[in-house]
Structure 1
Amino acid sequence: MIFNSFEFFIFLPVAFLLYWYVFNKNIKNQNIFILVASYLFYGWWDWRFLSLIFLSTSVDYLIGLKIHNTTEQKLRKRWLWVSVLFNVGLLGFFKYFNFFIDSWVDMFSLFGYDIKSTWTLRVVLPVGISFYTFQTMSYSFDIYYKKLKPTKDFLSFAAFVSFFPQLVAGPIERASNLLSQILNKRTFNYHQTVSGLKLILWGLFKKVVIADSIAPMVDDIFLNYADYPASTLILGVTLFSFQVYGDFSGYSDIAIGTAKLFGIELMSNFKFPNFSRNVAEYWQRWHVSLSTWFRHYIYIPLGGSRVSKLKSIRNITIVFLISGFWHGANWTFIFWGAFHAAAFIPVFLMGRNTIYKDSVIGEHTFFPSLVEIGQVVLTFGIVTFSRIFFRSESITDAFAFINRISTDFSYSAYAHPMGYRMMDYYILLILFTLYEYVIRKDERAPFKFKSKGLRFCIYTIIILSMLLFYDSSIDRSFIYFQF
């Protein structure tokens, strides 16, 4: 079941009414309902993979208790490694098995040996497995580092792991935030519910109007890149930057908004990354739950920035390579991770990786300075260039795409593959960017204007634009479902 499907628009109001009017008597009833609703939500896609969620839940629930009840440090560490190896093993089999086998075959072919693998399995990648395995692992890590005490309430823990708004594409929540809320009874809050509905509306706008409407152009340009000049290829990868942002941040907004309807506050996952002034700030604003996960559980344990510059560079490189590999079993993602490491390291060496941590562009004045505009354009260009690797089907395609940009400088006006006016899309993206700049200081309040008349106009425009741009022929699944 996906957020922008007809089934979800039936599921959500029914679940909301049952949750607050039937199962609201006590915390146990609330959590039973969350668990059942979450399993129904996920099982709608393929019920067979519910066993994986239940298995991952059971293993880390038991390991959490074992780590907490064990006083000997060596045994505690062994139990932690059981959690890590189990969860990474799940990912390794379902996500990376064929990648390693195919890479093994390709390596031998470089030396002139044509071997045929009989080990390749065409397994189905369970939706959301990269997200919920990281979520359960973080629980074990936090108990190991004594930042959290384990719960003995298996039902609540299972609800934490499978909480349907963020189950399949995040945010990747920490137990200290989400589990602590699930362990306490929720009461209906009108203002929280209204805030949630607004976020859902904004997320749907970004998904339907921004991401889905430009998807056919991105698909066409990347599929037929050999037939287009540099101007069109630059347009294609720029549009993809807007597509992946609208798609993934739209999902996160819907997830956060939906959680609010059930009295739960999830962490922010996107903080207007397109206005970042360097690559380090970009990673403080893009996919925040994953970035902080890597920082807390890989970068800092490796020594973080407390070690020598050389070792810090090593740690940064490791984090970005793992981040690339997390995104998919393809060398394109590893190159993408390596590229971001190469872009991040100079910022780190200049000591500018944290200077924008607690500020936004145009912090004290509405209009940004010329320096800030230049920084934003440069950062957006670097990030957008990296997405050639992210979007291409193979490394060969990625470098061929780049080569064509570098060699074919001819210009031709691109035409929409379905015959629509391109100017409408340019105007749309410009207006969208300007609107996000206006609301850039609070990612959880997209309609925070004092004027009721202005808010009504914005709501009307958003709803009408969704009706106008909605196209049933477009694949409406979210991009990050594949990860």
Structure 2
Amino acid sequence: MVFSSVFFLFFYLPVVLIIYYITPLKWRNAVLLVFNLIFYAWGEPVYIVIMFASIAIDYTHGMLVEKCKARGNDKGARWAVASSVFFNLALLFFFKYWDFIAGSLRSVGIGFMPTLGLSLPIGISFYTFQTMSYTIDVYRGDARAQRNIVNFGTFVTLFPQLIAGPIIKYKDLDDQIDHRTYHVEQFASGVQVFVVGLAKKVLLANNLGMLWDAYKAMPVEQLTTAGAWLGLLAFAFQIYFDFSGYSDMAVGLGRMLGFEFMRNFNYPYISKSLTEFWRRWHISLGSWFREYLYIPLGGNRVSKPRLFFNLIVVWAATGIWHGASWNFLLWGLFFAAMLILEKGFLLQYLRKTPAAVQHIYTLFFLMISWALFAVEDFSRMGAWLAAMFGFAGGGLADAAAGYYLRSYLPMLIIAVVASTPLSARLWDRLPEKPMKVILPVLLLGGLVLSTAYLVDATYNPFLYFRF
């Protein structure tokens, strides 16, 4: 089940909200847990068993860690944390990376690992990271062990952010799981954020995704330099509005249910360096890797060689987290190399240049990174990168590039504006009275237009579901 579907918008969500709010406060987590499990099982009923196992393992390990710590048995607590982390990583490895490693080994003549052909459980990369951080936080004393398994299960399966984030650390939601407040302003704010996210996804990401798909399906020998850049520009906006739209919808749904989730995107395309970009893009993932991998490795309080090693480890992990494919590892290592250059010497020179130069530098290397990310086949990736730099089989431009540019230019202009804080700043300058009239009209218009697209469209992917 996806948020951007007519069934979810006009049946599942209203039913959840009505039953949730007529339920007495002490039973709301139990009701929400049931709806969470229905939401997850809707697409993959078989894998609900994994969800139950994840809840049971991490719930018991959290209490075991706290019990060992209370008795002064730090070694036992560390073993409990280690076994919890091992379980979660083993789960992720088995479903996400087993066939990838087996296929890679077989390609070099090593065939002891059979390929299993198992489908990837939706959201496994997100919920395993969430539950893994729980026992670590309990060990560190950053969170209390949750003694109510219903409340813990509600955290693990919370449907607004279950299958594509943002990645919520238990310590950030601990108090809200047990006790949360409800007020009309919070609910109204949630509706507003949700509709904005829905419009991002349906009106921008889906439409620009069709332009990217047209170029992705094109034979590389027909690709032009202009087409390579135009296609990747469409992908850059598609993945941003797809994932930030989903994150907005998750935050909005959370507020409707009384929760506050962290912001996951902060206008990343206005960044003036790649370092800044990664402070603004997928903030919850960056925060997770920084807290649970980068800092334990020593962070930046180490020698320069060790700092660079830490960056390589973190970015290799970030890359492979996104998918079981060599191009994702290459994508992660590309950012590791660029961030090493920036931290080593480049940033100090870059900051002395005009802001426009800094923006152009950042966007140029981001476009190269999206080519590594979006094109999984290495031979095709090489041809695509060559086309970007003028070595295209189809030449510099063709009639198709001109046609697509003319057709999608209004959408691209809207995407450019929507990916900056400009519209938000203009909105904040409106007088309060006109704003109260205009806002409901815009939200209703966005909902109606998005619904019309959903009723008519067959193209409605969520890119981050596959991660």
**In the alignment, structure 1 residue 217 sits paired with structure 2 residue 216:** no
Q: Which residue of 2 aligns with 1:7?
A: 7
> For each residue in 1:419-459, what CA deviation from the matched residue of structure 2 results, as whole angstroms up to 9, or x when unmatched?
x87435222222332244345879xx988843325545644
Q: Any gaps of 5 or more consecutive residues in structure 2?
A: none
**In the alignment, structure 1 residue 337 sits paired with structure 2 residue 332:** yes
Query: Which aligned pairs between 1:37-76 and structure 2 lie closer than 5 A?
Result: 37-70=35-68, 71-76=72-77
Aligned counterpart in structure 1 of residue 400 of structure 2, from 414, 418, 421: 414
Q: Which residue of 1 aligns with 2:25?
A: 26
Corresponding letter in the other structure for 2:64:
K
Query: Which aligned pairs between 1:302-451 and structure 2 lie closer than 5 A?
Result: 302-350=297-345, 352=347, 371-406=354-389, 407-408=391-392, 409-414=395-400, 422-439=405-422, 449=430, 450=432, 451=434
Corresponding letter in the other structure for 1:394:
D
Corresponding letter in the other structure for 1:200:
F
Q: Which residue of 1 aligns with 2:146?
A: 151
**In the alignment, structure 1 residue 196 sits paired with structure 2 residue 190:** yes
- 3-state DSSP of counterpart to 2:175: helix
> Please, what TM-score do these two structures have when normalized by structure 1?
0.88
Q: Any gaps of 5 or more consecutive residues in structure 1?
A: 109-114, 357-368
Rate the CA distance shift 1:311–1:440 in 2: closer, same or farther, 3 A: farther
Rate the CA distance shift 1:469–1:195 in 2: closer, same or farther, 3 A: same
Which whole-Å CA distance do the structure 1 matches of 2:464 and 2:134 have between them? 23
- In the alignment of these two chains, the number of paired residues is 455
Query: Which aligned pairs between 1:59-98 and structure 2 lie closer than 5 A?
Result: 59-70=57-68, 71-98=72-99
- 3-state DSSP of counterpart to 2:420: helix
- 3-state DSSP of counterpart to 2:100: helix
Displacement after TM superposition at 1:347 (Å): 1.8
Displacement after TM superposition at 1:300 (Å): 0.1
> For each residue in 1:361-392, what CA deviation from the matched residue of structure 2 results, as whole angstroms up to 9, or x when unmatched?
xxxxxxxx992233223212211211111111
Rate the CA distance shift 1:471–1:394 in 2: closer, same or farther, 3 A: farther
Q: Which residue of 2 aligns with 1:121?
A: 116
Displacement after TM superposition at 1:472 (Å): 4.2
Query: Which aligned pairs between 1:147-296 and structure 2 lie closer than 5 A?
Result: 147-184=142-179, 186-224=180-218, 225-296=220-291
Displacement after TM superposition at 1:75 (Å): 2.1
Which whole-Å CA distance do the structure 1 matches of 2:405 and 2:369 have between them? 24
Deviates more, 1:158-167 or 1:140-149: 140-149
Displacement after TM superposition at 1:345 (Å): 1.2
Displacement after TM superposition at 1:106 (Å): 1.7
> For each residue in 1:15-40, what CA deviation from the matched residue of structure 2 results, as whole angstroms up to 9, or x when unmatched?
1111112x1x223x010011001001
Higher fraction of helix:
2
> For each residue in 1:246-288, what CA deviation from the matched residue of structure 2 results, as whole angstroms up to 9, or x when unmatched?
1000000000001110111011111111111111111111111
Rate the CA distance shift 1:401–1:274 in 2: closer, same or farther, 3 A: same
Rate the CA distance shift 1:75–1:251 in 2: closer, same or farther, 3 A: same
Query: Which aligned pairs between 1:450-465 and structure 2 lie closer than 5 A?
Result: 450=432, 451-452=434-435, 454-455=438-439, 458-459=442-443, 462-463=446-447, 465=449
> Please, what TM-score do these two structures have when normalized by structure 2?
0.91
When the two chains are superposed, the root-mean-square deviation of aligned CA atoms in Å is 2.6
Displacement after TM superposition at 1:72 (Å): 2.5
Corresponding letter in the other structure for 1:50:
I
Displacement after TM superposition at 1:5 (Å): 1.2
Which whole-Å CA distance do the structure 2 matches of 1:344 and 1:457 have between them? 44
Identity %: 33
Corresponding letter in the other structure for 1:429:
L
Corresponding letter in the other structure for 2:217:
L
Rate the CA distance shift 1:218–1:474 in 2: closer, same or farther, 3 A: farther
